[in-house]
Chain A
Amino acid sequence: HEALRGPIRNSGGGYVNHRLFWNIMGPSKGGEPSGDLAAAISSAFGSFDAFKEKFSQAAATQFGSGWAWLYVDTNKSPATLEVTSTANQDTPAMEAGKVPILGLDVWEHAYYLKYQSKRAAYIDAWWNVVNWDEVATRYEQARA
């Protein structure tokens, strides 16, 4: 079983992470969140712009392959919103109670054909396709 741990972490993680990724993006999306999610983000990070800056930094400074995440930590009471980054196909969900609601793939394959080495330009542009309705749905589900 130990020999399977690595492949499951990588392939299982890759499967789960990309499923989230395709769902939290969409054409004609972008903009900002509203309602409960917007309030929660302001409360946790000071403002939407401050959250955006922190998330973008996490994405830009993840060395090598990995992801940036916005997740709900349901282990805390009340549940908190946190930003982090992980390596390869790891996810905050590897720890029970942590529920990712937004993720950004920063493996080079996610941006190289269009942005080449300019990861920062990719991150900057990516906000234009974030589907906040989907993220809000995931936020509600995490709090349920």
Chain B
Amino acid sequence: MLSCVKLTQRVASHPGMLTAAAMRLKHTLPDLPYDYGALEPTISAEIMQLHHSKHHATYVNNLNIAEEKLAEAHAKGDVTTEVALGPALKFNGGGHINHSIFWTNLSPDGGGEPEGDLLAAINRDFGSYENMKTKMSAATVAVQGSGWGWLGYDKDAKRLTIAACANQDPLQGTTGLIPLLGIDVWEHAYYLQYKNVRPDYVKAIWNVVNWENVAQRFSAAQ
């Protein structure tokens, strides 16, 4: 879940009158559940630090700015501006959603294989864990430009589905699928360490997948 922990209140110009517009929920950068170097050698500390403290932080900041502008436009009845803010909300909101999920999807104690209900669903929908891994890796590597590969859950069809999204398009907001496991393939996620060899990065990242977290998300999606 996103951490919308900071509630800032502005006292309205009329004493005693607090409108919805005066209340602002500011998004904050979630803490990483582990140190920057914890995922080495799979993902370098340098990448983790830049990825979390620069890239994710920028999405959070710009999301707050866009939402502030949206609130102002809304208060003025300026629908033109509201609509024009769509892309910025999608980029930055999606970026915040995606990275918040990503940090929990990984763990220094990760790797191995899924178990229990999640494994049963994987076997049912893909034949085997290896087959799911192969398909998801292929879809992720094949993303053109910047984007993400996802293992998602289709609540209507009650099946696991592999998907890819461009840029920071959020999986659920764009496709309706519930995100369970994401692999970031924006170049900033791997370039310093893997250079242009994206397949090596995607192959390696399975070593740090936190199956407990993926299973929790799967369970919550039922």
Q: Which of B3-11, B31-39, B106-114, B186-194 forms contacts with chain A? A: B186-194
Within the complex, the shortest CB–CB distance from B10 to chain A, in Å, comes to 29
Asked if B50 contacts A109 (CB within 8 A), the reply is no
Q: Which of A17-25, A59-67, A124-132, A135-143 forms contacts with chain B? A: A59-67
Extra inter-chain contacts (12) besides given A10-B144, A66-B145, A109-B196, CB under 8 Å:
A64-B166, A64-B168, A65-B145, A65-B187, A87-B145, A88-B145, A108-B188, A108-B191, A109-B191, A112-B187, A112-B191, A117-B50
| Range for the number of chain A residues in contact with chain B | 10 to 19
CA distance A64 to B50 in the complex (A): 16
Could you write out 12 A-B pairs with CB less than 8 Å apart?
A63-B87, A63-B168, A64-B166, A64-B167, A64-B168, A65-B145, A108-B187, A108-B191, A109-B196, A112-B187, A113-B192, A117-B55
CA distance A67 to B55 in the complex (A): 20
Asked if A6 contacts B144 (CB within 8 A), the reply is yes
Q: Which residue of B lies closest to A88 (CB)?
A: B145
Asked if B54 contacts A116 (CB within 8 A), the reply is yes
Which residues 96-144 of A have a CB within 8 angstroms of B? 107-109, 112-113, 116-117
- Residues of chain B with a CB closer than 8 A to A6's CB: 144
Interface residues of A (CB under 8 A from B): 6, 10, 63-66, 87-89, 107-109, 112-113, 116-117
Asked if B54 contacts A117 (CB within 8 A), the reply is yes
Which residues 75-102 of B have a CB within 8 angstroms of A? 87, 91
Which residues 35-71 of B have a CB within 8 angstroms of A? 50, 54-55, 58
8 Å CB contact of B186 from A108, A113, A116: A108
CA distance A10 to B142 in the complex (A): 11
Report the 6 A-B pairs with minimum CB-CB distance, sorted nearest first. A65-B145, A108-B187, A64-B146, A88-B145, A64-B167, A117-B54
Which residues 162-193 of B have a CB within 8 angstroms of A? 166-168, 186-188, 191-192
- Residues of chain B with a CB closer than 8 A to A10's CB: 144
- Residues of chain A with a CB closer than 8 A to B87's CB: 63
CA distance A108 to B144 in the complex (A): 13
Most buried by B among A10, A87, A108: A108
Asked if A107 contacts B167 (CB within 8 A), the reply is no
CA distance A52 to B177 in the complex (A): 43
CA distance A107 to B147 in the complex (A): 12
CA distance A109 to B145 in the complex (A): 10
- Residues of chain A with a CB closer than 8 A to B196's CB: 109
- Residues of chain A with a CB closer than 8 A to B147's CB: 64
Q: Which residue of B lies closest to A10 (CB)?
A: B144
